[in-house]
Structure 1
Amino acid sequence: MRKVVVGALVGLVFAAVGGVALAYPSLAATTCPGCYGLTELSPGVHVEDGLTPAQRARAGEVADQAARRVTAFYGDRRSSPDLLVCLTEACYRRIGGGQERGVAVLNRSVMLSPRGLDPVIASHEMSHVELHARLASSAEVPQWFDEGLAVVVSGDPRYLAPESASESAPDRCLVAPSGPLPVTLEEWLRTASADPATYARSACRVSRWLGENGGRAALLGLVTRLNAGEPFSALVRTR
């Protein structure tokens, strides 16, 4: 009887694991990259199997550059997300990707599509993971701040002008924000998919707030106060 029970339990475990893999391949791929045709390039960096030496070198270069961007902004890193890199659309679909260039998965890993093998995209997604690694589970920021900050950290030229050495031209905004920005993830996905300029507006608002309040020190102070229980709305005043 004991063998039957154990066998039944093992069967249920495998069924559950299989169900997760089918329903959430991105989570399963993060847990077992090799199960999805990815090989380890370096600690924490997994790439599609069968790449050329040049493609492997490019993936490693992107990972290193993205990590340096995040470190340069924060001063150090509290997160170390696994990076899953696909150079074909078939690979990216297999690990659960869609039409996006890249995506952070449960603040544990970052998946990059063939269109996202770039330090800007990689550091954008890694910024999400780093921010949430610093925030307590009870602390919250609106989605526009999370996304706008990721644009600032990555220096994405699609949504934010380059930093200027001139004090007379400190504003990096390409599109000035007007009105409320999406607060929840659901609102963000709906709004940003209809209007990509939502990224630029959010980046502008975050960039201006940082510029007016001390840059990185302001962000680190904000995180500390959020973790102490103060609400975001009472701490961040935007125009």
Structure 2
Amino acid sequence: MRWFVRILVFLLVVPLALVAAFPQILRCQLIDHAADFQRLAPGVWVDKQTPERQRVYLLFEIHEARKRLEALWNSPAQSRAEVIYCQTPEQYGRYCQDGEGAGCSLGTPWGDSWVIINPYGRNPDVLAHELCHDELFTRLGWLKTQRQIPQWFNEGLALMIDQRFTTTTDSLHRFEEFTDHWQRQSKGQQIVLDLTELESLRDFFSGSSERVMLAYMTSGREVARWLSVVGRQGLGKLVDAIWKGEEFGDAYRRLEQEAQGKR
């Protein structure tokens, strides 16, 4: 009987603690009761003041973002995140933890997830970027994503379908473009970040805006390099290996070595 009580307490305490620590999750959870939002389509919420033209564009941009997502994973998207489109920075701040950036993604241990877009983030790049975070979360689950996936990989992978910094979808050419960006951002390699300095969310986003941009370019360069070696099928193999219990670092290196051995 004790084990039943412990499980029951866990199931009650964890959601309550999460909601207390992140009130934005509660607001997302109750979006269908929000006075200033309405459902535009299944899983898509917009401020009631959103002009009709923006509503049409938003649905098109979500569709385009999902197409990029499926091309990267080479399989149908599993992400079921609900999209919340805000009209003002203040409104966006109520649903995103720090209120900064063009968009953010939130997920819970029980599987609910949301992509929140600010007034300036309504485009396929931001949507694809945030949906990519959610795709990884959906495929691995909340716990494995939190414990196993370093932030540099999470961000670098999202940059593979975010065309704000590159013009090509080919991973090899993306590596070259990210290398150029990285060279400029590191001031000719005078300021270099090691991947071990970018493993946690806090580490990745600490420091100045220039340091954060260098973190992005470092991550994008590394993931583009890795994908150019293992191919798109390598991404699916990586997730499968982690799901079966292999450590991220071990699987990441093993798949690259195996791909190089076949050349």
Q: Quickly name the TM-score band, shorter chain normalised.
A: 0.7 to 0.9
Q: Distance in 2 between matches of 1:134 and 1:54?
A: 34
Bigger Rg over Cα = 1
Paired residue for 1:208? Answer: 225
Alpha-carbon spacing, 1:207–1:40, altered in 2? closer, same or farther (3 Å): same
1:224 maps onto 2:240 in alignment: yes
Give the match's secondary structure for 1:59: helix
Paired residue for 2:37? Answer: 38
CA contact (8 A) 1:163 1:170 kept: no
Paired residue for 1:162? Answer: 168
Greater CA deviation, 65-74 or 167-176?
Answer: 167-176
Aligned pairs (5 A) from 1:1-239: 20=19, 24-36=22-34, 37-74=36-73, 75-96=75-96, 98-106=99-107, 108-136=113-141, 137-138=143-144, 140-154=148-162, 156-158=163-165, 160-163=166-169, 171-173=176-178, 174-175=181-182, 178-181=192-195, 182-191=198-207, 193-195=209-211, 196-214=213-231, 216-237=232-253
Paired residue for 1:12? Answer: none
Shift, 1:34, TM fit: 3.5
Give the match's secondary structure for 2:177: coil
Alpha-carbon spacing, 1:86–1:65, altered in 2? closer, same or farther (3 Å): same
Write the deviation string for residues 130-175 of structure 1: whole angstroms up to 9, x where unpaired.
Answer: 0111115346121100100000023x332x452469x899733231
CA contact (8 A) 1:88 1:114 kept: yes
Greater CA deviation, 134-143 or 69-78?
Answer: 134-143
Amino acid at match of 1:180: D
Q: Which consecutive aligned stretches of 4+ in structure 1 deviate over 6 angstroms post-superposition? A: 167-170
Structure 1 residues without counterparts, runs of 5 or longer? 1-15
Paired residue for 1:5? Answer: none
Q: Distance in 2 between matches of 1:194 and 1:228?
A: 38
Shift, 1:193, TM fit: 4.2
Give the TM-score, by structure 1 length.
0.79
Give the match's secondary structure for 1:56: helix
How many residue pairs get matched?
A: 217
CA contact (8 A) 1:125 1:150 kept: yes
Q: Distance in 2 between matches of 1:83 and 1:161?
A: 26
Q: Distance in 2 between matches of 1:110 and 1:62?
A: 13
Structure 2 residues without counterparts, runs of 5 or longer? 1-14, 184-188, 257-263
Q: Percent identity?
A: 27
Write the deviation string for residues 35-75 of structure 1: whole angstroms up to 9, x where unpaired.
Answer: 33111110000001122211211221222211221122212
Q: Distance in 2 between matches of 1:191 and 1:232?
A: 26
Shift, 1:194, TM fit: 4.9
Q: Distance in 2 between matches of 1:169 and 1:33?
A: 37
Give the TM-score, by structure 2 length.
0.73
Greater CA deviation, 74-83 or 62-71?
Answer: 62-71
Shift, 1:197, TM fit: 2.1
Amino acid at match of 1:157: R
Amino acid at match of 1:187: D
Higher-helix-fraction structure: 2
Write the deviation string for residues 6-40 of structure 1: whole angstroms up to 9, x where unpaired.
Answer: xxxxxxxxxx99xx58x644212321224331111
